Amino acid sequence: MKVLIPGALRSYTRVSHVEANGHTLDELFGDLERRYPGLRFRVVDEQNLLRPNMRIFVNGNSVRDLQQALQPDDAVAVVLALSGG
Amino acid sequence: MAPTSVSAPASRKTSAKPAARKPAASKRLVVFVATRKGAWFFHGDAGRKTWKADGPHFLGHNISHVQLDPRDGRTLLAAAKTGHLGPTIFRSTNLGRTWKEARQPPAFAAPTGGLPGRSVDHTFWLTPGHASERDTWYAGTSPQGLFRSEDGGVSWAPLPAVNDNAQLRGWMGTVQDGTPDGPKLHSVIVDPRDPSHLYFAMSGGGVHESRDAGRSWTTLIQGLQVVEGFDAGDVSFHDPHCVRLCPGNPDRLYQQNHCGIYLLDRAAAPAGDAAADTWQRIGRKMPKRVGDIGFPMVVHPRDADTAWVFPMNGTDVWPRTSPEGQPAAYVTRNAGRTWQRLDQGLPGSQAWWTVKRQAMTVDAQATPALYLGTTSGELWIGRDEGARWSNIARHLPEIYAVEVAALP
């Protein structure tokens, strides 16, 4: 499936859209980690929780549960929450 | 303002002056500056007169600390995070020309023993391991955790005797108890005589010592004061800001604490005697109008009787600014019996910055110079052991840490 990568993570992927696979968001981030080592820990912490300022959209819907099921044609977007100053 | 001396009764035995010859001047020095928005390196000539900026490295990243490995003189570690992304460690083996991310940055283990799970927010402190343990490093984090790498910073493992110890965890408190930008584990110290002898400090949570390479720890808070009205017997209330071990006498430590400046002489009494584990408040001899509150503590590279502090305003709501807007370092040359003000060249008024706990250091040249970075993004050098200050750089982001190294 297609995954939109935010600018802050392009140092890992070099491109804005990448392909990755998984039956759940957790598996998807596992696949992203295999393809782009280091990326997952910047987004998901060691307790397997999405970091506070990260948001994930699946087909435009906000999701925080990493066990969220995914379909092969889903569109996933990793987004930095609008915050800070 | 000319240096002023504040006298005290001569009761403390001071160290014998070092017999070793002063080192020859190094050809090059590098000052590593870690800031809220990246890192900058300043390359200086042998005379420390001209400085060339190299940076930014990691523009936009919060860089808490940059440390050079003194064992090889070329490996750098940088502790990084951004406003949105999680924490990591970057590593360079060519003095910052190229960087590679740690394969396994510091991360807490899965929770055990009913303790709540924790996630590293940022690595705050980096300490190279003992000279005999090539590629060993220690990292202190926020929230408080201690980690060790044995492969030069590529991968990091938690020390369970700290991170999963129920008693220590109780003293660490929660994120809500910590300093405004998160509770810190800092001042990780390796005894140069013994790689198994370690110290660390926590804001808050006291000072701790291990003699078995971190497998067990004892608490070193005897003699330290806490905020008035609180129980000094409760380790949770102890807030060491910066602890340093003297290279010229590894049995002596100095500490800038939330509640004063202290000295600990481990050789003052036989091992096991309480006097060998009791901190003495040497900050009482500081001028009353300045006080003895601050963040950094700096020790001389050879003379264990000489140490520097940079006081800040710790009254009422804790402004954390230079007292009266007049920044100054203070030096003791007799292990805290007297202190002298060092402000020549620093702003004389309306300078409301201060210096964080990692942002002041000293080089090891024959006549050492001090270096400090300010919360307003200025880098200063204090030549002749802080007697004459001049500016190296302005307009940097808020400075978190300053380290200096001599290159061959």
Query: Using H for helix, E for strand and C for coil, what is the string for chain B?
Result: CCCCEECCCCCCCCCCCCCCCCCCCCCEEEEEEEECCEEEEEEECCCCCCEEEEEEECCCCEEEEEEECCCCCCCEEEEEECCCCCCEEEEECCCCCCCEECCECCCCCCCCCCCCCCCCCEEEEEEECCCCCCCCEEEEEECCEEEEECCCCCECEECHHHHCCHHHHHHHCCHHHCCCCCCEEEEEEECCCCCCCEEEEEECCEEEEECCCCCCCEECCCCCCCCCCCCCCCHHHCCEEEEEEECCEEEEEEEEECCEEEEEEHHHCCCCCHHHHCCEEHHHHCCCCCCCCEEEEEECCCCCCCEEEEECCCCCCCCCCCHHHCCCEEEECCCCCCEEEECCCCCCCCCCCCCCCECEEECCCCCCCEEEECCCCCEEEEHHHHCEEEEEECCCCCEEEEEEEEEC
What pLDDT shows up at residue B11? 44
User: Is B312's pLDDT higher than 60?
Assistant: yes
What pLDDT shows up at residue B326? 97
Res. B272 pLDDT band, cuts 50 70 90: confident
How do residues A41-63 score in pLDDT, each as one tens digit?
Answer: 999 999 999 998 899 999 999 99
**No. of helices (H) and no. of strands (E), chain A:** 3, 5
Average pLDDT of the residues in B225-239? 93
Percent of chain B topping pLDDT 90: 83
Q: Specify the range with the lowest mean pLDDT, choosing from B11-20, B26-35, B315-324.
A: B11-20
- Mean pLDDT in chain A? 93
Average pLDDT of the residues in B38-61? 96
Res. B75 pLDDT band, cuts 50 70 90: very high
User: Is B195's pLDDT higher than 60?
Assistant: yes
How do residues B352-403 score in pLDDT, each as one tens digit?
Answer: 999 999 999 999 999 999 999 999 999 999 999 999 999 999 999 999 999 9
Res. B5 pLDDT band, cuts 50 70 90: very low
Structure-block tokens of residue B389: 């200050």
Q: Does A71 touch chain B (CB under 8 A)?
A: no
What pLDDT shows up at residue B294? 96
User: Is B192's pLDDT higher than 80?
Assistant: yes
Contact list, B86 vs chain A (CB under 8 Å): 41-45, 51
Out of A9, A37, A84, the one facing B83 most closely (by C-beta) is A84
User: Is B328's pLDDT higher than 70?
Assistant: yes
Res. B21 pLDDT band, cuts 50 70 90: low
What pLDDT shows up at residue B310? 98
The structure's pTM equals 0.92
User: Is B217's pLDDT higher than 90?
Assistant: yes
Name the β-bridge partners of B45: none
Q: Which of residues 33-52 of A touch B (CB under 8 A)?
A: 37-38, 41-47, 49, 51
How do residues B111-147 score in pLDDT, each as one tens digit?
Answer: 988 899 999 999 999 999 999 999 999 999 999 999 9
Res. B316 pLDDT band, cuts 50 70 90: confident
- Mean pLDDT in chain B? 92
Question: From the CA of B45, how many Å to the nearest CA of chain A?
Answer: 34
Structure-block tokens of residue B172: 């660490």
User: Which is more confident, B285 or B176?
Assistant: B285
Checking ipTM against 0.85, whether it exceeds it is yes
> Whose structure tokens read 């609180």?
B230
User: Is B1's pLDDT higher than 70?
Assistant: no
How do residues B390-400 score in pLDDT, each as one tens digit?
Answer: 999 999 999 99
Q: Using CA atoms, how far apart are residues A82 and B303, in angstroms rounded to an integer?
A: 51
Average pLDDT of the residues in B144-162? 98
What pLDDT shows up at residue A82? 64
CB contact under 8 Å between B84 and A41, yes or no, is: no
CB contact under 8 Å between A47 and B110, yes or no, is: yes
What pLDDT shows up at residue B175? 65
